[in-house]
Structure 1
Amino acid sequence: MINLQNIEKVYRTSTIETLALNNINLHIRTGEFVSIMGPSGCGKSTLLNLMGLLDAPSAGRVEIGGETVTQYRDKELARLRNQKIGFIFQSFHLINDLSVLDNVEIPLLYRKGDASGPSRRQLAREALEKVGLSNRMNHFPNQLSGGQKQRVAIARAIVGQPSIILADEPTGNLDSAMGNEIMSILQQLNADGATIVMVTHDETMAKKTHRLVRLFDGAMVGDSVLMSNA
């Protein structure tokens, strides 16, 4: 599903060069739930951004769903992101002036020739039902708790029925109870067929996934199977 081969990522300025990722080789199979851990600044979010086609490697090859995307143009990358990848962020990134339902519908607005307005609304409602927020669809983000905001963010990520979900610290801003609820939703989405990659600092959350990849100073230093996804 996701294949990274000999990946390097270098950030350069006029005075300094920083090696963010160094010779990363990682294959994530369809249906896996993989967590990525490591200290701050070790390259976790950079790696997730490469998987999500939000950034390009300085060297190496990226394959998503069997497509080699390293040489794709921006328009082709945007198409692939919109069709196959859902993003969940630690800080939710909801638009406060839009209702919950409108926030969830946003990704569908960028799909050319796809669902009509009424169909988009129905897909957004169904996504909110999956995360248990059908009774909050007409509320606004500032009327929700942190856990509810993250559920909205998950609904927005899954409304287009992506095969891949990338989550960057999805429980990082939540207390343990709310964090466990969010993890339960992610586990159910995985059980329903989604391939999930999650960056986390929480060892307890990581142990609820199939596999744990550890980074240090931009390099992979561990890759452990925690449970089978067969």
Structure 2
Amino acid sequence: MITLQNIEKVYRTSTIETLALNNINLDIRKGEFVSIMGPSGCGKSTLLNVMGLLDEPSKGTVQLDGQAVTQYRDKELARLRNQKIGFIFQSFHLINDLTVLDNVEIPLLYRSQNGRPRQDYAKDALTKVGLSNRMKHFPKQLSGGQKQRVAIARAIVGNPDIILADEPTGNLDSAMGNEIMNILQQLNDDGATIVMVTHDEQMAKRTHRLIRLFDGTQVL
């Protein structure tokens, strides 16, 4: 599903060079639920961004479904992200001036999906995360857990093969965090491949496999 070979990521300024990822080799198999852990600043989010084709590695190759994509143009990468990958962020990244339903429809707009089918897909996604009664609400009217459910609905509305989640329970209390994990596990049971960055050992234990990072290097 996702294969990283000899991945290195270096950030450079005029005065300093920072090695964010060093010789990462990973193979995320179809249907897995994988967690990534490590101290703050160790490269977890950078690794997730490389997997999600949001950030280009300085060295190494990224393969998606067996196809090397490292040299793809930006337009080709954007198309792959939209069709194959759903993103969930710790800070939700919802648009406050749009309703819940409108927020969830956004990925389908980039596919030029027609209005009525687009709305139907968004309603189905919100039903899956238990928010069918909040479609006309605005983000400011929702709790943190509800906002994260909207973010999950937005991530799954296009039926992606891969879901990348960056601290999806980080801003939530333990009860709501467990509810979000239950949703992610159900999505995984339904066939989605999920990679999740987390600081929570208990959440990580609920996934199939744990990858640990330290100073940009995979801990074996």
Partner of 1:108, secondary structure, is: helix
* 1:95 Cα offset (Å): 0.4
* 1:91 Cα offset (Å): 0.3
Q: Which structure 2 residues correspond to residues 30-69 of structure 1 after superposition, within 5 A?
A: 30-69=30-69
CA distance in structure 2 between the aligned counterparts of 1:29 and 1:88, rounded to whole angstroms: 19
Which letter maps to 1:159? V
Q: Which residue does the alignment assign to 1:168?
A: 166
CA distance in structure 1 between the aligned counterparts of 2:106 and 2:15, rounded to whole angstroms: 40
Q: Map Cα deviations across residues 68-127 of structure 1 (whole Å, 9 max, x no partner).
A: 100000000000000000000000000000000000000000014xx3100000000000
**Structure 2 alignment gaps of length 5 or more:** none
TM-score by length of 2: 0.99
Q: Which structure 2 residues correspond to residues 1-230 of structure 1 after superposition, within 5 A?
A: 1-112=1-112, 115-222=113-220
Partner of 1:6, secondary structure, is: strand
Identical residues among aligned pairs (%): 84
* 1:65 Cα offset (Å): 1.8
CA distance in structure 1 between the aligned counterparts of 2:68 and 2:163, rounded to whole angstroms: 19
* 1:18 Cα offset (Å): 0.7
CA distance in structure 1 between the aligned counterparts of 2:187 and 2:194, rounded to whole angstroms: 9
* 1:32 Cα offset (Å): 0.2
Q: Map Cα deviations across residues 27-79 of structure 1 (whole Å, 9 max, x no partner).
A: 00000000000000000000000001000000000011222100000000000
CA distance in structure 1 between the aligned counterparts of 2:138 and 2:66, rounded to whole angstroms: 39
CA distance in structure 1 between the aligned counterparts of 2:31 and 2:107, rounded to whole angstroms: 23
Task: Extract structure 1 runs of 4+ deviating beyond 3 A.
Answer: none
CA distance in structure 2 between the aligned counterparts of 1:131 and 1:60, rounded to whole angstroms: 37
Q: Structure 1 stretch 58-67 or stretch 122-131: which is displaced more?
A: 58-67
**Structure 1 alignment gaps of length 5 or more:** 223-230
* 1:161 Cα offset (Å): 0.2
CA distance in structure 2 between the aligned counterparts of 1:109 and 1:174, rounded to whole angstroms: 29
Which letter maps to 1:73? R
TM-score by length of 1: 0.95
Partner of 1:31, secondary structure, is: coil
| Cα RMSD for the two superposed structures | 0.5
Q: Map Cα deviations across residues 122-173 of structure 1 (whole Å, 9 max, x no partner).
A: 0000000000000000000000000000000000000000000000000000
CA distance in structure 1 between the aligned counterparts of 2:28 and 2:106, rounded to whole angstroms: 28
